[in-house]
Structure 1
Amino acid sequence: MEYIRVTKDNLEKEHICCAISNNKDVQVSSKKAWLADRFDEGLVFLKSVERGKCFIEYIPAENAWIPIEADGYMYIDCLWVSGSFKGHGYATDLLNACIEDSKEKGKKGLCILCATKKKPFLADPKFLKYKGFIVGDEADNGIQLWYLPFEDGADIPSFRECAKHPQIDEGGYVLYYTSQCPFNAKYVPILEQAAEEKGILFRAIHIENRDEAQNAPTPITNYALFHDGEYVTNEQMSDKKFLKLVNG
C-alpha cells in the first residue's frame, strides 16, 4: 500500500477518507477547513492513496483538542482502517509511520483515547494492547487515555480535572462537538431540527477553538452527548437514532 500525506498544498484535491468524495459537500468542506487551521500546529494526516477509510491523524498533544496533560507526547486524533482495507496490516503501517515521525520529532511517546471495550469512533483496545499501549488515565464514564512511551520513566499522560468526571449542570440534552469530525456538519443540524419539531429540550455547543476543547467537561470533545447533566454517548447520531434514544 502506498500512502500520501495531506498538506495545505494538496488538501483541496485530496480525498479525506472518512467523508464522501464531493468537495462541495458540507461535511467535506467543514473537515478540510478544520484541518487547514491545524497544519501549522503540527497536525499530520497520512492516508492511503486509494479512496477509503484508511488513515491516521495526529498532532502534538499540547495542541490536541481534548483536555489532557501530555506535554511532549504526540496525540492520535484518529486511526481508522475499515472495510476492505482491514486485515492487511495497514493499521500497523500507519501506526509505525506515526511512531517513526514522533521519535524523529523528539516526542516522549504517543497517546490516544480508548475504552476497556470497543466503542464507536474510538480505537480498538485489543489492537492498542498488542502494540504495547497501556492505560494512563480513566474518566468516570469509562473513557480511557492510553499511551505508548518511547523510553522508561516517561511521564504518564492524564486527563485534566475538568474531564475526569464528565457531568454538567444543565437539563435536557446537551451536545458538545467540534468540526474535527466531518459528520457533525451534516447531522448536528438534523438533530437540532428533530428536537425542535418534537419539543425536546436540546442544545448543541460547538467547540470552536483549542482552549475551549482543552477545558471541556468531557474527555471526548468531537462528539459528547449529555442528558440532564449525565454523559450518554460519543456515538454520532441520525435523527432516528436520537429519537429512539429519547423515547427509550
Structure 2
Amino acid sequence: MGHRLPKKESHLELIELDTEFLEGMGSYCLRSKKKSTGYINKNKWLNAQFEEGLKYIQLLEHKKQVGFIEYTESQHSSRVVHADNYLVIHCLWVSETGKGYGSKLLHRCLEDAKKESKYGVVVVTNSHTSWTPSKDIFLKNGFTLVDTAPYNFELLVYQFAKDAPLPVFPTNWDERLKKFTVLTILRSFQCPYVEVATENIKIGAQKLGLDVKMIDFKDRTELMELSPTPYGIFSVVFKGELISFHRLTIHSVMKRIKELL
C-alpha cells in the first residue's frame, strides 16, 4: 500500500507511490499527456519495478506536487554502472531550486540506503543534457565524483563505509558502439520521453530513406551488455558512432545522420 510519510514541515509532504497511488496520482513526467504512449509505458514500467523494490517518491507543498525522486537497487537499475549493494538514483527533479526540495528528497533516499545496509548511493550525471539530474545538488549533499565515461557522463557516490568497494563504469564503450553499423535505437521505458525521442529518429531516418533497427532492453543483463552509454534509457547509433542519448529535433537527427553518410 502507498503511504504518507512523516514530515517536519506541515506544508510539505512526502508520498511514496505504489500501484494504487500511481493509479490515482500518476507519475510526474509528461503528466500533461496522460494518454500518450510514453506516459502509459512509464506507468507500466513503474508497476513492474515496484515489484523489484523501486521507490518513487513525490514531494507535495500545500498538496501541489513540487518534486520527485526515483531510485532502486543496483541490480534492477537502468543505469550502466557496476555498483553492487548500492542504491542507484534514476531521477531527481524539483519545480523550484533554492527551497530545499531536492535535499529533502535526497535525504529520504540516503535514509533508505542506510536502513537497507547498503554501501551508499550512486547517481549518473551529465552536464550536457537535462535528461540526467544536475550534479550540483549531489555535491552539496556530500557526494563525490568517482568515475567518468565518454560523452561527459560522471558517476557520483555517497558512501557510508569508506572501505567499501567503489562503484565504476564499464570501460569498453568503443567496442559497444562498433557492434552497430545500421541505424539502431536502444532503449528502455524508464523515461516517458523516450517515445517522442524515438519518433523523431524514425521520421528523420524515413526522410533520408533509412530503416531503423529497434532494441528494447528485455532486462538488466542485456542493458549492461549492449548500452553504449551509462544512461541506459535511450541511445541512437549509426555506423559505430553515437548520434544521441537524448531527444533530438527531426532537423538535428537528419543533420547528424547526413554527417555519417
Q: What interval of TM-score do these two structures reach, taking the shorter chain for normalisation?
A: 0.7 to 0.9
* Structure 1 segment 151-230 matched on structure 2, within 5 A: 151-163=161-173, 167-200=177-210, 202-218=212-228, 219-230=230-241
* Structure 1 segment 71-220 matched on structure 2, within 5 A: 71-82=84-95, 85-115=96-126, 117-163=127-173, 167-200=177-210, 202-218=212-228, 219-220=230-231
Check whether the contact 1:61–1:71 (CA below 8 A) recurs between aligned residues: yes
Q: Which moved more, 1:3-12 or 1:55-64?
A: 3-12
Aligned length: 245
Q: Deviations over 1:153-193 (max 9, x none)?
A: 12100123455865233324322111111112233134213
Q: After TM superposition, where is structure 1 displaced by more than 6 Å over at least 4 residues in a row?
A: none
The answer for the alignment partner of 1:58 in structure 2 is 71
CA distance in 2 between partners of 1:52 and 1:178 (Å)? 26
Task: Quote the offset at 1:244 in angstroms.
Answer: 4.2
CA distance in 1 between partners of 2:227 and 2:211 (Å)? 20
Check whether the contact 2:123–2:155 (CA below 8 A) recurs between aligned residues: yes
Q: Which has the larger radius of gyration?
A: 2
Check whether the contact 2:59–2:105 (CA below 8 A) recurs between aligned residues: no
Check whether the contact 2:42–2:189 (CA below 8 A) recurs between aligned residues: yes
CA distance in 2 between partners of 1:3 and 1:241 (Å)? 39
Letter in 2 for 1:149: Q
CA distance in 2 between partners of 1:191 and 1:51 (Å)? 35
Task: Quote the offset at 1:14 in angstroms.
Answer: 1.3
CA distance in 2 between partners of 1:35 and 1:238 (Å)? 27
Q: Deviations over 1:9-57 (max 9, x none)?
A: 2211113111134533222210000011101111000012356561100
Check whether the contact 2:102–2:137 (CA below 8 A) recurs between aligned residues: no
Q: Deviations over 1:76-100 (max 9, x none)?
A: 0111224xx2221101110011111
CA distance in 1 between partners of 2:128 and 2:94 (Å)? 14
CA distance in 2 between partners of 1:232 and 1:24 (Å)? 29
SS of residue matched to 1:41: coil
Check whether the contact 2:196–2:247 (CA below 8 A) recurs between aligned residues: no
CA distance in 1 between partners of 2:131 and 2:239 (Å)? 24
Q: Which moved more, 1:161-170 or 1:136-145?
A: 161-170
Unaligned residue ranges in structure 1 (runs of 5+): none
Q: Deviations over 1:183-236 (max 9, x none)?
A: 122331342133123313533322232221122232111012223212233222
Unaligned residue ranges in structure 2 (runs of 5+): 1-11
SS of residue matched to 1:231: strand
Q: TM-score, normalised by structure 1?
A: 0.87
Q: TM-score, normalised by structure 2?
A: 0.84
Call closer, same or farther: CA 1:87–1:29 in 2, change over 3 Å: same
Task: Quote the offset at 1:71 in angstroms.
Answer: 1.0
SS of residue matched to 2:129: coil
Letter in 1 for 2:159: P
Q: Which moved more, 1:210-219 or 1:68-77?
A: 210-219
